[in-house]
Amino acid sequence: MGRLTSAVALVTALVAATTSAADAGNWATPAAGPSTSGGPEVLFTFDDGPNPATTPKILDALAAHHVQAVFFMVGWRFQRGNVDKTRDLMHRILDAGHVVANHTVSHAHLCTGKPEPAAAEIDDARAILEREAGMPVTWFRAPYGAWCPRLAGMVEERHLTHVYWDIDPQEWRTGNAKLTEQLVERHLRRLTGRAVLLMHDTKVATTKALPKILDWIETENARRAKAGAPTIRIVGAPEWAAEMLGADTIAEARSLGTDILGGLAQGLASALP
């Protein structure tokens, strides 16, 4: 890519990254609520997988930094392609304490067309993911972040929790790892509250950018600690899930003998007071 082309790409991506929150429709932002530490906090989320070609590299990078993330999966990956490998990935994701979430069956736009197929996209994906994960999957993210009253109603009727995002480096579009790293670091450097970072475990650029971003956070935090400045806290997905469910819900489920948290139990046990 030429110098001018990459500058144009940078500006375009910056504009997209900074305007995406304003285009949120009525999905709540900040997407994971306020900071609990009072300082900058980030929750890592990955959409559109799992993909046997790229997701293992994402899991390696997260494991190397002891980070647990939320994976918004699409149901079709358990129906087509190398389903056995995709299933292995699901187990690896659960074993590592990551959180599994619903991103429809076929990555459909849920605010266009008839309501029945839109509802089926949500319900069928939930059924597939719950079967594969062996646990309830109540977190949901609309493809493209689409919002409309109809979809908001569907989410509410099903008692799902929609999770939007605050930082969107658009790496699925640019395919540029360096640019992705720069955009994310630029946001994190000036972050004050809590932000949800949206990336895609299906893209090669993401597999290259993620280890760099995680290394950068470590270096940046060492620098901040030395300077007595608030460090960037990575919010673990189980901690976030426990916060969202609330202590009452968890206690009630336990009293009923319902393992609502399934494979998350270990991570949650350490996150709960």
Site residues, Zn ion (CB under 5 A): 47-48, 143
Nearer to Zn ion, 47 or 168 (CB): 47
Nearer to Zn ion, 129 or 261 (CB): 129
Catalytic residue annotation? 47, 200
Residues 80 and 273: their CA atoms lie apart, in Å, by 41
Nearer to Zn ion, 48 or 239 (CB): 48
Q: CB of residue 143 vs Zn ion: minimum separation in angstroms?
A: 5
Q: CB of residue 144 vs Zn ion: minimum separation in angstroms?
A: 7
Nearer to Zn ion, 77 or 194 (CB): 77
Taking CB atoms, the residue at the shortest distance from Zn ion is: 47
Contacts of 155 (CB under 8 A, 6+ apart): 122, 140, 161, 162
